[in-house]
A = this chain, B = another copy of it.
Amino acid sequence: MSAPPSTNATSETRAAAKKAAKKPATIHDVAALSGVAASTVSRALSTPGRVNFRTRARIEAAVTELKYVPNAQAKALSSGQTKSVAVLVADITNPFYFDIIRGTQLQLKAAGYTQLLVDTEESEEVEVNTIEQMLQTADGVILTAPRLSDEALLLAATKMPLVTINREVPGIPSVLLDTPTATNQALDHLISLGHSHIAYLGGPGSSSSNIRRWEALSTAAQERGVQVDRLGPFAPRTYSGAAAADALVYSGATAGIAFNDLMAIGMLQRLATRGVRVPEDISIVGCDDIFGADFCSPPLTTVTAPVDQAGRVAVTMLLSRINPGIGTLPRSQSVLPTHLTIRGSTGPAPLRP
């Protein structure tokens, strides 16, 4: 370090040197200025009742004068609480996560927590490594649509507070967006329009919401006596919409329900290129109602979910685990309702010769 040669400096000159170095004030500086011990300052700030109000007043004056801000690292080290929460998302650039992130961010900030945002790049390995790392760094973790196995998740849950979004594992608190129900609404919607041969354009095989959705869909299809093919899996991205669109056309189905809106939008683009009209020739349903779903061409019929609310609820659940006893009794699961938003990408089934 480039510390000045510390000769027999008086405390005054050392204080001056410190001021010159712009080093932020510590609890000891406050203690010295207000003529008490550091421990008293700590108590005055964290346990106001523990300290005489006159003393506290002096301390608070010193705090404002020195612009003292407690060092988060030191606080974390001694208290064991980092006041930060990690939020893991599979792909930051997927608009679906935008509102989740904003929801968590808002709620966390309101509670005085910092958000550590990590993009796991749809990789299980990154996911598990990050969790391992966050064990030390964060007070808790929010996992959005984790790819990990149930066992791995349960193991991680034993080590630290953890809440999942869109993934249900017994014993782990979770927030679920009830897309299967809305997907059934979509099915009814399509059937009512005369479609009898429908395809599901599946997402990643390891995605639990993909599995849940397909189960709901195939069950409902049987009950209603319509044919629903399962195509895919496709990557949940715009670019894989082309392959999905071609598979859909090839399947002969008159309507497609896509794993998510990114894929659906990609399909719309591909179908337009191929000259297949939507919804005249083929109807398309998406899922998530992401940014863009309302202004693509045609506007997408899709499943709308209260995404930012999911983020907020997840944070609330997590914080109630981190600080037990405070506030309401912790719910261990929350299912948020969704609904079908009908726009221009679905229409009557074409007449077959």
Residues of A17-62 whose CB lies within 8 A of B: 22, 24
Closest to A105 in B: B119
Among A101, A291, A297, the one with the most B-chain Cβ atoms within 10 Å of its Cβ is A291
Tell me, in angstroms, the Cα distance from A115 to B82 when the chains sit together: 15
Asked if A102 and B77 sit within 8 Å, CB to CB, the answer is: no
Asked if A117 and B119 sit within 8 Å, CB to CB, the answer is: no
Q: How many residues of A contact B (CB 8 A)?
A: 40
Question: Which chain B residues border A296 with CB–CB below 8 Å?
Answer: 292, 295-297
Work out how many copies of this chain go into the complex. Answer: 2
Asked if A158 and B297 sit within 8 Å, CB to CB, the answer is: no
Asked if A93 and B137 sit within 8 Å, CB to CB, the answer is: no
Asked if B69 and A136 sit within 8 Å, CB to CB, the answer is: yes
Asked if B93 and A98 sit within 8 Å, CB to CB, the answer is: yes
Among A117, A133, A265, the one with the most B-chain Cβ atoms within 10 Å of its Cβ is A117
Asked if A291 and B137 sit within 8 Å, CB to CB, the answer is: no
Tell me, in angstroms, the Cα distance from A99 to B93 when the chains sit together: 7
Asked if B98 and A102 sit within 8 Å, CB to CB, the answer is: no
| Min CB–CB distance A319 → chain B (angstroms) | 18
Contact among B98, B116, B159 with A98 in the assembled complex (CB-CB below 8 Å)? B98
Tell me, in angstroms, the Cα distance from A116 to B115 when the chains sit together: 6
Tell me, in angstroms, the Cα distance from A136 to B22 when the chains sit together: 12
Tell me, in angstroms, the Cα distance from A162 to B151 when the chains sit together: 42
Residues of A271-316 whose CB lies within 8 A of B: 291-292, 295-297
Tell me, in angstroms, the Cα distance from A74 to B114 when the chains sit together: 18
Closest to A86 in B: B114
| Min CB–CB distance A270 → chain B (angstroms) | 11
Asked if B77 and A73 sit within 8 Å, CB to CB, the answer is: yes
A221 at the interface (CB under 8 A from B): no
Asked if A92 and B82 sit within 8 Å, CB to CB, the answer is: no
| Min CB–CB distance A49 → chain B (angstroms) | 21
A269 at the interface (CB under 8 A from B): yes
| Min CB–CB distance A268 → chain B (angstroms) | 7
A95 at the interface (CB under 8 A from B): yes
Residues of A94-115 whose CB lies within 8 A of B: 95, 98-99, 101-102, 105-106, 114-115
Question: Which chain B residues border A82 with CB–CB below 8 Å?
Answer: 73
Query: What are 22 A-B residue pairs whose CB atoms fall within 8 Å in the complex?
Result: A69-B132, A71-B136, A72-B136, A72-B137, A73-B77, A73-B136, A92-B101, A93-B99, A93-B102, A95-B98, A95-B291, A98-B98, A101-B117, A105-B117, A105-B118, A117-B117, A268-B295, A269-B295, A295-B296, A295-B297, A296-B296, A296-B297
Q: A73-B137, A292-B295 known; 11 other A-B pairs, CB under 8 Å?
A: A69-B132, A72-B136, A77-B77, A93-B98, A93-B102, A93-B291, A115-B118, A116-B117, A117-B117, A265-B295, A291-B292
